[in-house]
Amino acid sequence: MPTSILIQPVVLSGGSGTRLWPLSREKYPKQLLSLVGDESLLQATVRRVQGTPGVELAPPMIVCNEEYRFVIAEQLRLLGQNGTVVLEPCGRNTAPALTIAALSAQKNQIDPVLLVMPADHVITDVIAFQQVVSQGAALAEAGAVVTFGITPDAPETGYGYIQSGDAYSGASGTSAHLIKRFVEKPDLATAQSYLAEGSYLWNSGLFMMRASVWLAAMGHCRPDILTACQTAWDQGQADGEFIRVGKEGFAQCPSDSIDYAVMERIAASGQADAAELPVGVVLPLSAGWSDVGAWDALWQVLPKDSHGNVSQGDVLLQDCENTLAISGGRLIACVGVRDLVVVETADAILVSHKDTTQDVKKIVDALKAKGRSEGSIHRKVFRPWGWYDGVDAGERFQVKRIVVKPGGTLSLQMHHHRAEHWIVVSGTAKVTKGDESFLLSENESTFIPLGTTHRLENPGRLPLEMIEVQSGSYLGEDDIVRFDDMYGR
């Protein structure tokens, strides 16, 4: 394969993963979690394309919600990757996200092959994946829109399917076929017939095409989305290490998926509209793929003991079978249970039968309906300067453990309804309080009266750990008036 094929990895990181609650939450979704191995799902997605034979790789591009931009930037830094992080001001599904990525990829007058990957999938056989990517790169370079269909091993009702048609004549030496049609998630009887028929593959959500090919297809199929994305891109600007698209323009963009916007129209055309639409082909992929859509799917991909159990963290199992138990801190003890999922975090515990884990989303919906924070955020909240953990709370008080990374700086701010008492546990704090600025060391403290302008910084080389005690009539996070913030919040 010629080495001139430039691949631009595009990682779509917009999902919330509510079926993996309580680990995955709206403000810290599953792609940021280390569910399989030491790396997060996003990090594993970026890393698995490294070393793909016969291609040149551009630095990765991540398209994500601005809520977790700093966490993603930090995860890329830990991988040693200087990627591009494109921020969506609001969710508009995958077709607009890919269109923005294609516009970004072409900004330097190049036309790379886009390798489009969801950030929250698992692939255990990286070598097999890379081999199929190499095949797809040649097809995409020649003008095709390529998708990868997962070879099914069971009558799965939780995935959409792709029916493959005739062998693709422009793909000698590969197993590529024309896309005959896309079908929605089937019932069990239909899924069984798909498996028996043999031409149906699971829809992976993985795609390859040149940036110009995608933009042309959008111009034919969804010119309204293309126009809105072009406007948003023209309104955008660089913000440090991030690229922000125009909020007003993107908010006007219709919401649609890659499949509905383009792929199904390509399949339905039967290539009769070849002058307007690119050819759509599917490559079979057998690489240990899972979308990890729910807890039972995670149980399937993780290593198990001799009784089919998966345990992570502080877990004791006695006479258990086919059970998934994950502890975030406290001891989980299971005795005599079968086919259960037990997941513990600092503020929530989930107990579910493996057959009903798809319904976890209903719990998240109920929490949001009741206005409870457990549906969207963890007790431990990550910020660009570090993180804080809500240790305790009661009427008119709240206690937080705060860790500020070296060089981290909180915004210059004040509160209308609360005062704060800061105690340094370890490290050195630089405190701005009103018109004065001073240093605090271990076991030293200061009091920030209500209405006083203040800022906390870590000038040292080690993490700064503190305890903050808040007191007042209202302790919500929205009681913050920011005067200056190095992170642009």
pLDDT tens column, 154-172: 998 889 999 999 888 776 6
For β-strands 349-353 and 340-344, DSSP reports them as antiparallel
pLDDT digit string (tens) for 214-252? 999 999 999 999 999 999 999 999 887 899 999 999 999
Which residue ranges does the chain devote to CATH 3.90.550.10? 6-290
Q: Structure tokens of 107? A: 């900004």
Cα gap 192→195, rounded to integer Å: 5
pLDDT given for residue 171 in this prediction: 63
The predicted model scores a pTM of 0.89
Cα gap 250→100, rounded to integer Å: 10
Percent of the chain topping pLDDT 70: 97
Asked which of 138-147, 173-182, 404-413 is least confident by mean pLDDT, the reply is 173-182
Handedness of CA 74, 79, 82, 88 (dihedral sign): negative
380-484: CATH superfamily: Jelly Rolls (2.60.120.10)
At 4, phi and psi to the nearest 5?
-75, -10
Q: Please give the average per-residue pLDDT across 134-145, as a whole number.
A: 94
Query: How distant, in Å, are the alpha carbons of 381, 413, 420, 473, 478 from that of 416?
Result: 22, 10, 12, 9, 10
At 376, phi and psi to the nearest 5?
-125, -30
Residue whose pair of structure tokens reads 């259960």 in the numeric block = 340
pLDDT given for residue 272 in this prediction: 43
pLDDT given for residue 1 in this prediction: 42
Q: How many CB atoms lie within 10 A of CB 359?
A: 12
Q: In terms of DSSP H, where are the helices of 160-277?
A: 188-197, 211-221, 223-235, 247-251, 258, 264-269
- pLDDT confidence band for 107 (50 / 70 / 90): confident
Cis omega (within 30 of 0) on the bond before 89?
A: no
Which residue ranges does the chain devote to CATH 2.60.120.10? 380-484
Indicate the CATH number for domain 6-290.
3.90.550.10
Residue whose pair of structure tokens reads 């060089």 in the numeric block = 407
Q: Please give the average per-residue pLDDT across 198-209, as a whole number.
A: 95
pLDDT at 487 over 90: no
pLDDT digit string (tens) for 25-81? 988 999 999 999 899 999 999 999 999 998 999 999 999 988 888 899 999 999 998
CA quadruple 461, 463, 469, 475: dihedral, nearest 10: 100
